């Protein structure tokens, strides 16, 4: 079963068309990247799949569940990490993971989920401090821990390393890889072309609400006779 199937997805904001009939699929256990510049429609696509935005036309299914009809079922198996996400500042890191874990289970399942979150976040003793005192990198690691602790079938990550330094970005990429190896399908967005080469099994190049090409990084570089994905992207939109 496909993790995600998007067909002819159109999304309008008033009379502005943000997505102009995009289609793509994400396989189970795959890391799939939506790659494009700012304003290309990446976040809109991810938010729509994450059940946050309404569909103007077209269809989306997540592990066979159809949106928006089965949005409740979809929310049980996905995890969404927004680009500029924050955590509740008056909670400690552990308190925040506890709060989120309670939505997904009780008892042993709850405990193991929090434990996994703590391991992914890897904040040491600082996990007992209030989120308000965390650096941006620490907050992001906590949020990645939150997003992956429930072992979601699909993790939707919007610019997961945005604003992080090299060390923190590398750590987050390692966590994402590890989650995919554990069976989680990952749909992520990025405008960092180098990062996607390191991370994604397959990518879709999106520009101005249209997917211009889909494939593995090797396939796309070969198709556009490009040395890297950045060059392939520029050639694809010409």
Partner 1 sequence: MIANIIKKEFKELFVLSTIIPIVVIAIVYGAVGNMIGNVQETMKEKPIIGIVDMDDGTFSDTAMSVLTERAEVIYDGGDVEEGLEEVRQENGVALLAIPENFSQSIYANQPGEIEIYWIMRGAGMMDSISSGTVEGLIQGVNQEVSKELIQQDTSSDPALILAPTSRVETTFFKGKEIEGVSPGVLGNMLMSQSIVIPIVIMMLIIMAGSSVISSMGMEKENKTLETLLTMPVRRSHIVIGKMVGSALVGMIMAAIYMIGFSRYMSSFQGSDINLADFGLAMGMQDYLLVGVSLFTALLAGLSLCIVLGTFAKNYRSAQALIFPITAVALISAFIVMFKDFDTIPAVLRILVFAIPFTHPMMAMRTLMLDNYALVIGGIAYTGVFTVVMVWVAVRIFNSDRLLTGSVRKRAGLGKLALGFRRR
- Among 20, 29, 85, 151, which residue interacts with partner 1 (rule: CB under 8 A)? 85
Should residue 15 be labelled a site residue for partner 1 when binding is judged by CB under 8 A?
A: yes
Interatomic CA distance for residues 192 and 238, integer angstroms: 19
Among 4, 22, 43, 211, binds partner 1 (CB under 8 A): 43
Nearer to partner 1, 157 or 220 (CB): 157
Near partner 1 in 96-125, by CB under 8 A: 100, 103-104
Between CA 236 and CA 238 the distance in angstroms is 6
Give the other-Cβ count within 10 Å of 17's Cβ.
15
- Identify which of residues 60 and 220 has a Cβ nearer to partner 1 in the complex: 60
- Cβ proximity of 153 and 78 under 8 Å: yes
Binders in 135-154 for partner 1, by CB under 8 A: 143, 146
Tell me the closest approach of the beta carbon of residue 21 to partner 1, in angstroms.
17
> CA-to-CA distance for 13 and 65, rounded, in angstroms?
25
Is residue 78 near partner 1 by the rule CB under 8 A? yes
Q: Using CA atoms, how far apart are residues 186 and 183, in angstroms rounded to an integer?
A: 9
User: 23, 9 in Cβ contact below 8 A?
Assistant: yes
Task: Judge contact between 41 and 22, C-beta under 8 A.
Answer: yes
The H-assigned helical ranges of 122-192 are 136-148, 166-181
Q: Exactly one of 3, 4, 31, 50 binds partner 1 (CB under 8 A); which one?
A: 50
Q: Which helix (H) or strand (E) holds 85?
A: none
10 near partner 1, judged by CB under 8 A = no
Smallest Cα–Cα separation from 74: which of 50, 104, 109, 100? 50
Pick one of 7, 8, 13, 178: the residue that binds partner 1 (CB under 8 A). Answer: 13
Q: Rank residues 50 and 175 by Cβ distance to partner 1 and give the closer one.
A: 50
CB of 218 to partner 1, least distance (A): 30
> Which residues form the interface with partner 1 (CB under 8 A)?
13-16, 18, 39, 41-44, 47, 50-54, 72, 75-76, 78-82, 84-89, 100, 103-104, 143, 146
């Amino acid at each position: 079963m496909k993790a995600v199937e998007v067909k002819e997805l159109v999304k309008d904001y008033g009379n502005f068309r943000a997505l102009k009939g995009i289609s793509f699929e994400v396989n189970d256990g795959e890391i799939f990247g939506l790659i494009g510049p700012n304003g290309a429609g990446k976040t809109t696509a991810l938010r729509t799949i994450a059940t946050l935005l309404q569909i103007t036309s077209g269809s989306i299914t997540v592990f066979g569940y159809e949106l928006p009809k089965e949005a409740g079922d979809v929310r049980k198996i996905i995890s969404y990490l927004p680009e500029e996400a924050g955590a509740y500042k008056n909670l400690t890191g552990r308190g925040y993971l506890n709060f989120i874990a309670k939505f997904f289970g009780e008892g042993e399942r709850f405990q193991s989920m929090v434990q996994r979150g703590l391991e992914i976040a890897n904040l040491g003793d600082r996990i007992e401090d209030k989120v308000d005192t965390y650096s941006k990198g620490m907050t992001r690691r906590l949020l990645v821990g939150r997003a992956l602790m429930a072992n979601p079938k699909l993790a939707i990550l919007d610019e997961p390393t945005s604003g992080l330094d090299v060390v923190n970005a590398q750590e987050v990429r390692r966590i994402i890889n590890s989650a995919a190896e554990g069976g989680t399908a990952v749909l992520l967005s990025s405008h960092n072309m180098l990062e996607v080469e390191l991370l994604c099994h397959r990518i879709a190049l999106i520009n101005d609400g249209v997917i211009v090409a889909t494939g593995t990084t090797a396939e796309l570089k070969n198709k556009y006779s490009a040395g890297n994905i950045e060059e392939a992207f520029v050639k694809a939109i010409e």
